[in-house]
Amino acid sequence: MILTGPGIAAAVATGEISIDPFEPARLSPNAYDWRLGETLRICDGDLDAARPTTFTETTIPATGTVLEPGVLYLGMTYEKTGSETYAQMLNGDRTTGSLGIWVHVSAPLGHVGHAIRWTLEIRATKRVRVYPRMTFGKLIFLATAGDRASYQREGAKYAATEGIDISRLYTELAGGPR
């Protein structure tokens, strides 16, 4: 079951959902409109799942920055969101999609208990200028069924994420750094 906008607002008011900063005007009928943060990591060279990704980090100026096709950018949400009651699903939306921006296609699920600024995978089909804090997608909250287990349990791979995070798959692959 997806929470409605008023349901999200009520859950924020009771503390069941945290959205920081929270702006009621960003609520839509079934979602919260999240924004792009102010930092991008540009992945350097070829990527190897058995090795940590190298990157260059840049701050998006107020005048914006142009995303280039064929480049993998890692960004983060401006808002920090979480809930010990609801799972979250983060996606791009029609407005960014209409600009040829693919965002967060591979990992939209936020587990119960995961309170983070989301790391975003961003690709552009054409050159496109983006700006810090621009609306970039929709976040929905989903009711869960069954016993809940918080993602913050010890040992969860990304439980301690602070800001933009590279893939940690290399920690699982034989022959990669440990």
What is the C-alpha separation between 145 and 147, in angstroms, rounded?
A: 7
Identify whether the C-beta of residue 101 lies closer than 8 Å to the C-beta of residue 64: no
Q: Look up 121 and say whether it is catalytic.
A: yes
Partnered with residue 28 across adjacent β-strands are 31
Active-site hit among 79, 121, 162, 172: 121
Q: Averaged over 68-83, what is the pLDDT?
A: 94
pLDDT band at 178 (very low <50, low <70, confident <90, very high): very low
pLDDT at 164: 77
pLDDT at 162: 67
Tell me the pTM. Answer: 0.86
